[in-house]
Amino acid sequence: MINYFNTILLLLIGCLAYGQQPISNLKQFEIFGEAQGTTYQISYYHDAAIISKNSLDSIFQVIDQSMSLYKKDSKINTFNQSKDKFMLLDNHMKAVVKKSFRFYKESKGKFDVTVKPLVSLWGFGPEKTKVIPDSALVRETLKDVGMEKLVLKGNKLIKKVPNIQLDLNGIAQGYTVDVIYEYLKKHAVGSFLIEVGGEIRTRGLKPNQEEYRILIARPDSMNQGSNYVVGLKNKSITTAGSYENFRTVGNYKFSHHMDPNTGYPLKSTIISATVITESAIDADGYDNVIMAMEPKEAIAFANKKNKMDIYLIYLDGAEIKEAYSKGFEKYIRIYK
């Protein structure tokens, strides 16, 4: 299984750069950079270069100052370290926290942004640890976990317990993509693709009326290893995987996805979940929800949502299988 995990990590999702020439006077412009501990890429069509890298980097900096756990003086770290009962949120953090409450409710607690103490306890995030916590420590840590211990009232986020902490990494990159989307839209860019750390959102068609096309790799054991190429117009896509961030201590291998009910790393038969929605924040948030479900439950959840489609790779015993929601097939353009 480890070889499969390593392969899929490299190929799981990527943007295909088709070199066709536009049939209008619009030109293609690309901007690349690093931000939020990962890389980003913006590809857009316009008659002139109107989006600068500096302007994009400024957006990243403002959002990081709000929600990055790696910036010591960020808003989120101030909230996490403070013993005050409440904090006034900036607009970015308020929007993400508000959306997090929605995911928490819809997922019946499977999505929970208060898992930071558990993330730290199990050795992920800025703090590192090399031991497996005992059950008593896990139970004690769980006392400070649970979004029901938070109240959002206007711009005020209120703590019901003093040691509760936030980790918005599971949704903040999708939100960032949406902020950049609105920035390009405001500048009258009608066709573009934004990618930040695997979170992708598209707008419009290319000048040749082609959709933006994204490669989704499939396991070698299926259909001679053929992959899907999906076509997107005004849609977002992302993929989460249980292999993408894990630790091994002794013979125990575990994922960074935490179960807020048990306090232990999440155990699921789903290996990866690809989610297609309109907004990137929804794709980013729902992939965490889907990863916490069993395959049949996840497919039923996606079909019920109606505005979301998913593709799963999962384990059935020792066999690798795949499944997708009823609307996913309409995005498939090529078996490559």
Specify the pTM: 0.88
pLDDT tens sequence across 107-161: 999 999 999 999 888 887 666 667 788 899 999 999 999 999 999 999 999 999 9
Residues 47 and 25 sit within 8 Å (Cβ to Cβ)? yes
- Which of these, 304, 27, 4, 25, lies nearest to 192 by C-alpha position? 27
Which residues, including other chains, have CB under 8 Å from residue 239's CB and lie 6 or more apart?
12, 13, 198, 216, 272, 273, 274, 275, 287
Q: What is the pLDDT of residue 37?
A: 86
Number of residues in the chain: 336
CA distance 103 to 107: 6
Mean pLDDT of all residues in the chain? Answer: 87
Radius of gyration of the chain from Cα atoms? 20
Q: What is the pLDDT of residue 336?
A: 59
Residues 229 and 16 sit within 8 Å (Cβ to Cβ)? yes
Helix (H) or strand (E) holding 216: strand 212-216
pLDDT tens sequence across 57-97: 999 999 999 999 889 999 999 999 998 899 999 999 999 99
- Give the bridge partners for 191, in sequence order: 45
Residues 192 and 44 sit within 8 Å (Cβ to Cβ)? yes
Q: What is the pLDDT of residue 123?
A: 82
Residues 296 and 304 sit within 8 Å (Cβ to Cβ)? no
pLDDT tens sequence across 278-287: 999 999 999 9
- In the chain, the percentage of residues whose pLDDT exceeds 70 is 85
What number is the average pLDDT over the span 183-192?
97
3-state secondary structure of 327: coil
Q: What is the largest CA-CA distance in the chain?
A: 66
pLDDT tens sequence across 315-332: 999 899 999 999 999 999
Least trusted range by pLDDT, from 36-40, 42-46, 191-195, 235-239: 36-40
Structure tokens at 224: 């001679």
**Band of residue 253 on the pLDDT scale cut at 50, 70, 90:** low
CATH of domain 2-335: 3.10.520.10
**Band of residue 4 on the pLDDT scale cut at 50, 70, 90:** very low
68 exposed, middle or buried (CB, 10 Å; 0-12, 13-18, 19+)? buried
- Residue 153 DSSP one-character state: E
